[in-house]
Chain A
């Protein structure tokens, strides 16, 4: 036990790398998920089909296979760059996250009432405007909770980056196991750390849910319900 704890500086380093990768993967997957999810519902058949094929193409081989392909096989294709382990890992995991997140974005957008789109059309808003200003803010209150559980999975996905030589928590843990032969302590420690990370991630998303536009509006609508007559009086006075 004590032998393992002696290695705490490297463990902290590994933890930092894991957190770094996880944060970038989660942030990187957001724009991809929104774009892919919106394209899935596009009016053009070509866009719908293309985004569906892309999503299935990314999801079908697991992130691990994709990571190995990008890291080992991609540089052998003429004209393709050799990515550093960290870049390859973040790129692949973010793509995977975007593919899984796109389905959530799609479901969230579909849950917004069709009348909203019609109203935007009637008000003369452009497609992009109505999507970013009206539809998406409402869809977010459905997307974010689902995305939160996906983000928890993404923290766990980062464990595979050790295979291409990124010195994350698991990589360091395996090294320590090799030096101290204390597998029980090392892996219990790793499990605890990963578990804490996923719980923290869940908490972060629950906080994020509180500040979403629709949830805030709903709260604001619920709060002054007793004070409504007062507001009416003020409105009348103006």
Chain B
């Protein structure tokens, strides 16, 4: 089978739909992951043994079980409890929650590097705990964790391809469908690969910039 440019032009608009979905899902899940991770990290530092045990369990669960299994689990089990959701929000939520667990580790790591004197200073200035976190610790944590967090967002973006298992029309899903409709697999999959490759470039550029700044 040879490469057919006309076919490429024909399927390109549909693949672009997939790109749009991929971007949307990446943005939504990374918002959940970055925000949720911060909340989890703060929760673990502030709370007592129970909160810590809860966060630890959460982390271990999501680190040991494939995302695909969690996706299937949510997709097939929720309807049994009478909650029927479309695949897109399920995908966004599961990816977001799984990566929130990873991100909380990163936040916690950066929190450790903040010197203890800073907290003492906050106490000396009589700042309330809320202000201490909101104005002093959290911004510092985010700043220091930025490169590692971006790495996880990149990983999340790559993992969105898995959502095609639930029928979400991400780029991978669109390529799969177009391939089956026309019984031509060479062009859709190759194009999908090239587009995914291209979509990585902004991330890599940002990462190298961040690294320069921190080095």
Pairwise interchain contact A73-B73, C-beta atoms closer than 8 A? no
A77 to B190, CA, bound (A): 11
Let me know if A65 and B73 touch, CB within 8 A. Answer: no
The stretch of B26-34, B106-114, B126-134, B154-162 in contact with A is B154-162
Q: Are B186 and A65 in contact (CB under 8 A)?
A: no
On whether the beta carbons of A65 and B80 are closer than 8 Å, the reply is no
Closest chain A residue to B200, Cβ basis: A60
Which residue of B72, B158, B165, B175 is within 8 Å of A163 (Cβ)?
A: B165
A62-B196 CB under 8 A given contacts A68-B172, A187-B76: yes
B64 interface residue (CB < 8 Å to A): yes
* A72 & B179 in contact (Cβ 8 Å cutoff): yes
Contact A198 B64 (CB under 8 A): yes
Contact of A191 among B69, B162, B175, B185 (CB under 8 A): B69
Query: How many chain A residues touch B (Cβ–Cβ < 8 Å)?
Result: 35
Interface of A is mostly: helix
Known: A65-B161, A187-B77. A174 touches B204 (CB 8 A): no
Judging by beta carbons under 8 Å apart, are A61 and B193 in contact?
yes
- Chain B residues lying within 8 Å of A184, measured Cβ to Cβ, are 77, 80
Which of B60, B76, B172 is A177 in contact with, Cβ under 8 Å? B76
Contact A62-B200, Cβ < 8 Å, known A170-B69, A191-B73, A199-B64: no
Alpha-carbon gap, A60 to B204, bound state (A): 10
Shortest beta-carbon distance, B65 to chain A, in Å? 5
A147 located at the interface, meaning its Cβ lies under 8 Å from any Cβ of chain B in the complex: no
Q: Check: B68 CB closer than 8 A to any chain A CB.
A: yes
B69, B70, B159, B164, most chain A CB atoms within 10 A: B69
Q: Which residues of A contact B (CB under 8 A)?
A: 56-57, 59-62, 64-66, 68-69, 72-73, 76-77, 152, 156-160, 163, 170, 174, 177, 183-184, 187-188, 190-191, 194-195, 198-199
Binding site for A on B (CB under 8 A): 1, 60-61, 63-70, 72-73, 76-77, 80, 158-159, 161-162, 164-165, 172, 175-176, 179, 185-186, 189-190, 192-193, 196-197, 200, 204
Beyond known contacts A61-B161, A76-B1, A188-B73: 10 more, CB 8 A cutoff: A56-B204, A59-B200, A69-B192, A73-B189, A76-B186, A152-B64, A170-B69, A183-B77, A190-B69, A191-B73
